[in-house]
Chains A and B, each alone.
Chain A
Amino acid sequence: MSDLPAREVKAAAADWFERRNFWEWTAENEAAFAEWLNASLAHRAAYVRVEAAWKRTERLTVLKSSVRRPVQTPQRERTRFWFFGATAATIAAAAIIGAITYWPSTEPEAQTYATAIGGRETLALTDGSRIELNTDTQLRTQITARERKVWLDKGEAYFQVKHDAAHPFVVIAGNHRVTDLGTKFVIRRDATKMEVALVEGRAQVDALNSKANAPSVEMVPGDIVVATANRIETRKKPVAALSTDLAWRQGLLIFKRSTLAEAASQFNRYNREKLVVDGSAAQLKIGGTFQSDNITDFAEVAREVLGVHVARRGDQTVISRQ
């Protein structure tokens, strides 16, 4: 047997499998694949193995509902804001910003964007930066040739900032300012605090009403800064772990041994119909990947895995111990 080292054969098998299944594929490609496959039984075994492994991961998709509902963005009563809801609106919004940028003589109006509960939208800014808005989020942008400024009024957004040393990208969330130097980061804001997690690059956080000399905080990837009215704290997390917190960008919630109470509070950010966990069931732990807009699937898995009782009460889904 003069097979290549197993490591290389496995990598090649995964490569063939991946290219064959996720990209355009021609008869020529298939002929080349056949040649590789038949060159050695080691190749065949490795390919069958990778294919079988992928098939096993199908169990993960069980967590996803069979039909993916498009995210509904119910219009609020008075649409003062620019509400997402259609790609066309997003494009139009970008166009408006573009137009304003080319109007140098007057100070531009900030543009407002918002998502409803369960909504998720991506905003492409004229400077090449991108902002992804999570559920129930509102922000205003002011991107001009002179400055790049975003106010996060509520909710959570992921920023991929195009580097421009001359024009730092500034996000204002309540009483705090995040100044970004070409990075990726996520900010979440609620009534009492602001939380920034830096995924890539560098950023700086400081208090706007800098009483006395509250020092600004320099962030490196993996840093999480939590700022409340009167203090700023920094925590650390492996950058890889941050991506779990960013699963919402794929419409997912990932739990690793979270309590049902924690899981419910996450789901309730994304859904109008609420998940309620009664009594001692709240402390039961669950893990898994779930679609954030599908409480029913989650409750079903909880029932199957934890043996809890699931019931509907009005427009609530209630989980309790038997």
Chain B
Amino acid sequence: MTETPDSKRDTADPRSAAMTASDVDVWFAREVLPLEAALMQFLQHHWRNRSDVEDLVQDVYVRIYEAAQKEIPEHPRKFLFTTARNLLIDRARRAQIIPIEALPDPETLDIAVDTPGPERNAIARDELRRLQEALDRLPARNREAVVLARIEGLTGREISQRMGLAEATVSHHLSNGIAALADMLYGDAPKDGGK
């Protein structure tokens, strides 16, 4: 996870200093992030104010991180939803808005609805289509910058030359594009299961 998208780097790369992927980071990316869409649905369903959901996800992640740094949970899915539920209970208690009993018990929650594993090909195909759709949904300039960075492997400076835009502008497009991609790839539930 510490590798950079491009490896056009010197050996004396300052980038390695701050971000060394911990076990927790790797675990979080592999086990927790793919559940983000389900987590958001859960929160939307059980929290009155939808505009809070994004912030609630952030708070759940912080709690998950805190716990995982002590010990990596064995059952990520169950742990995630229990954490989410506890957060909602704390919030509800503080705000005194909904009775705690209204919240579902994770034990009884239908959260283990892992779809039966489709064949490998179909996964690859879905992933590709999902990526493609996410890319297509970006604003034009954001997409152009992302495509140049990702598919053509250009640096920011090269992209600014290619697009004929100031470097700060390119940086803005690229950063927006990447942020939006992250939301679409993790946050957004797939439109439908099949074709």
Given contacts A20-B4, A23-B157, A30-B18, contact A57 B152 (CB under 8 A): no
- Is A94 part of the contact surface with B, judged by Cβ < 8 Å? no
Kindly provide the distance from the CB of B101 to the nearest chain A CB, expressed in whole angstroms: 25
Q: Which chain B positions have C-beta within 8 A of A301?
A: 128
Kindly provide the distance from the CB of B192 to the nearest chain A CB, expressed in whole angstroms: 14
Contacting B at CB under 8 A, from A1-51, are 1, 3, 5-7, 9-11, 13-15, 17-23, 25-27, 29-31, 33-34, 37-38, 40-42, 44-51
Given contacts A37-B18, A37-B19, A250-B144, contact A19 B171 (CB under 8 A): yes
The segment out of A58-66, A172-180, A190-198, A224-232 that lies at the interface is: A58-66
- Is A130 part of the contact surface with B, judged by Cβ < 8 Å? yes
- Is A165 part of the contact surface with B, judged by Cβ < 8 Å? no
The segment out of A149-157, A238-246, A269-277 that lies at the interface is: A238-246
Kindly provide the distance from the CB of B183 to the nearest chain A CB, expressed in whole angstroms: 7
Question: A18 near B25 (CB under 8 angstroms)?
Answer: no
- Is A289 part of the contact surface with B, judged by Cβ < 8 Å? yes
Question: B14 near A25 (CB under 8 angstroms)?
Answer: yes
**A-B CB contact pairs (8 Å), 29 listed:** A3-B62, A6-B54, A6-B55, A6-B58, A11-B179, A14-B182, A17-B178, A18-B178, A20-B15, A21-B4, A21-B5, A22-B159, A22-B171, A30-B15, A31-B18, A34-B19, A42-B62, A47-B19, A48-B29, A52-B1, A53-B178, A54-B181, A56-B131, A59-B124, A60-B150, A160-B164, A240-B139, A250-B144, A256-B136
A37 to B66, CA, bound (A): 15
A254 to B132, CA, bound (A): 9
Question: A53 near B62 (CB under 8 angstroms)?
Answer: no
- Is B176 part of the contact surface with A, judged by Cβ < 8 Å? yes
Given contacts A1-B59, A50-B182, contact A289 B147 (CB under 8 A): yes
Chain A 223-266 against B: per-residue CB contact (8 Å), 1 yes, 0 no? Answer: 00000000000000001101110010011101010000000000
Interface size on A, residues (CB 8 A): 70
Q: Which chain B positions have C-beta within 8 A of A54?
A: 5, 150, 178, 181-182
Given contacts A1-B59, A27-B14, A51-B1, contact A60 B135 (CB under 8 A): yes
Closest-by-CB residue of B relative to A238 is B140
- Is B42 part of the contact surface with A, judged by Cβ < 8 Å? no
Q: Which chain A positions have C-beta within 8 A of B132?
A: 60, 256, 287-289
Q: Which chain A positions have C-beta within 8 A of B47?
A: none
Contacting A at CB under 8 A, from B112-145, are 121, 124-125, 127-129, 131-132, 135-136, 139-140, 143-144
- Is A77 part of the contact surface with B, judged by Cβ < 8 Å? no
Number of A-B contacts (CB under 8 A): 189
Question: A48 near B182 (CB under 8 angstroms)?
Answer: no
Q: Report the contact-size class of chain B (Cβ under 8 Å from the partner).
A: 35 or more
Closest-by-CB residue of B relative to A307 is B121
Which residue of A10, A33, A239 contacts B18 across the interface (Cβ within 8 Å)? A33
Residue from the set B1, B127, B147 with the largest chain A CB neighbour count within 10 Å: B147
Q: Which chain B positions have C-beta within 8 A of A242?
A: 140
Question: B33 near A289 (CB under 8 angstroms)?
Answer: no
Q: Which residues of B contact A (CB under 8 A)?
A: 1, 4-6, 13-15, 17-19, 21, 25, 28-29, 33, 54-55, 57-59, 61-62, 64-66, 121, 124-125, 127-129, 131-132, 135-136, 139-140, 143-144, 146-153, 155-157, 159, 164, 167, 171, 174-176, 178-179, 181-183, 185-186
- Is A88 part of the contact surface with B, judged by Cβ < 8 Å? no
Question: B157 near A30 (CB under 8 angstroms)?
Answer: no
Given contacts A14-B176, A130-B164, contact A23 B6 (CB under 8 A): no
Q: Which chain A positions have C-beta within 8 A of B153?
A: 61
Which residue of A22, A46, A243 contacts B156 across the interface (Cβ within 8 Å)? A22
Q: Which chain A positions have C-beta within 8 A of B121?
A: 304-305
Q: Which chain B positions have C-beta within 8 A of A247?
A: 147
Which residue of B124, B131, B157, B176 contacts A304 across the interface (Cβ within 8 Å)? B124
Question: B1 near A48 (CB under 8 angstroms)?
Answer: yes
Given contacts A54-B181, A256-B136, contact A23 B127 (CB under 8 A): no
Given contacts A29-B14, A54-B5, contact A9 B58 (CB under 8 A): yes
Q: Which chain B positions have C-beta within 8 A of A256?
A: 132, 136
Question: B151 near A53 (CB under 8 angstroms)?
Answer: no
Given contacts A14-B182, A243-B144, contact A44 B29 (CB under 8 A): no
Closest 7 CB pairs of A and B: A34-B18, A14-B179, A53-B182, A6-B58, A22-B156, A52-B29, A45-B61
